[in-house]
Structure 1
């Protein structure tokens, strides 16, 4: 649905009403008993499975539009829903429902000499706006995580999945109302035009947080326009450093997994750093593994002398998130130079060291300024499911307030509850 036949005044009026409804819903969700949220999320999962025909009909509209508009085969595959993917969405909701409730936890307690008791308690953030360019399952995953943490959610999906997203959001909100959730807990912006997003990003009297999911261009546009706090993840320029004292067989296996298992994801390896002392021994098995996957190697002059088939790397290559079978490689002089390179060129996502020397591992883990730092493991583990969080709403490369994979706990804030018996400040 586009806004071509709708005035800006109508867009603003509709979104304002959605914001007011979401605030009201968030206040009710904040005090909803944990078991009630569990029942609602499980019922939503049941209703999604029961509405398969409606969901598939909506999805076919999106598929038809996608074919008409020339979407690639890969994009059409990401867009299409089938029984397996539908069950995956429903099961994801059930997994979120089964998690420990993140709201109402006493994070710390302080007893003051004057008798005051001060409890720091976890609370929902409030109303969360999620702007995404992704598969329809994000509608269900994102809404489920927000609701589990007691937040209302306003969703704005991409135009390619509009009908699928709209149907899924309506099913979730309707099912929630039936089992006791407030109306407006899950809402979807009914337009995909940019002016609707531009207004949404200025609704700071209603929304407490914006989470964009998509390409770097989308995220930068959201950050530039928003008057609401944004949790962002621009890109994943992930590094591994091969230390001079490492298990070469293990290192090659980890690098192959990090680069080649799924090169198009944000936790895939993009730059490899190799200690100069181990390069002659390390390169033959490494090159054999990369050749097997047809990985294009780009490197500096020193690496090119060792590997003449490598392409020259420019400065931009070390900042690049390729999301492809391309790997930048650089020869460095020890762990300190590796850390300096990562902190300069990296995106604060996921970086690791491959070493048997504990001193170097400790230095690397302490000095690399990234959300997730690894010792002898693949960067591909940076994922909510792999971290035991169940579903995730995204991976933050920010430092405030959430960092790394974001599950239900990262969608809470806290407040202080102060209990006294008549104290006044002298």
Structure 2
């Protein structure tokens, strides 16, 4: 227990002190190894060996960054901004809720996860500045859309999450159908809706001034080509659709992004001679998020291979007594700590289910209450974790002009507005189901 809590605290404290998140997660991984009894070199070797677990994801994000830059250079984003200016007419809240809706669709109807963020958000930064939108509200909306649908709905990524819960609970001795999971997760999902409305219409409602974007940055963020559709715009739309179809058919973000990139060159939307420059800009856009995912995978490997996570969950079981509010709180907080460290809800559920499912059955929690506890415990921490793509994705889009901080403008707001409601509504679900 000490290993997990101490290493996660190291990561959180360093991140809050504005230490680069890569260094913060690296320090947390080394700390976990040392506390577990590994030497400096042995702990570092284990961390490095685990980085390969997210290599495919990291490459996907790099290629998506390149594709996003190509789309920006095509001029089609200028058409989008022009349309939004006419529709929104100064209504900040409406724009933010539209972004939350688009993000939600990225989890089920068009399952691209964070791939849309570097394409959609950077061109809108100038519009955000003109409307004096607090970007913390936008980060909250994006994280809501990336997280709430899979927590609540058994569709797209939500089906994968609900199926993970069902299969892991069945393997741990509680036979339950994937079609039953949503019934237990409706209340926690409703808590996230409450958190979204509080963030957008109360906490970050007031106008916030940002320094004006320089001409050089504006050339990158807002193209100055025609605001009406042109042939190059049509070719860009074809490339986007092709990338989406390829991703779905081949179940690979890498092949999807590559399809889009190749078509942008073949259609001559992007001149081949500018390829080096475009790729470099794409790496700058998404390189940090890719490398953080690699380091986070290494940190997760250290925690799991040393047995630190299993030890913490076992200790949590020991301090719990019966099916009461205290026991439910311990289970949820255990999930929060684990997910904050490893940055993935999907990877947390198998860890928690193995020990908490038999325990919940033994103390008298109903099957649906157990689902609510395991599902919510797995989801807690994904919002707010410095190493989660639910926070790294929004930051990648909002920080392009250097006026958005990953920890203080994305992680802290999303932690407060989603983990607290998830905790409270998760407790409620455990008590009433």
The normalised TM-score by structure 1 is 0.23
**Richer in helix (by share):** 2
Q: Give the structure, 1 or 2, with the largest relative contact order (CA under 8 Å, sep 6 or more).
A: 2
The normalised TM-score by structure 2 is 0.22
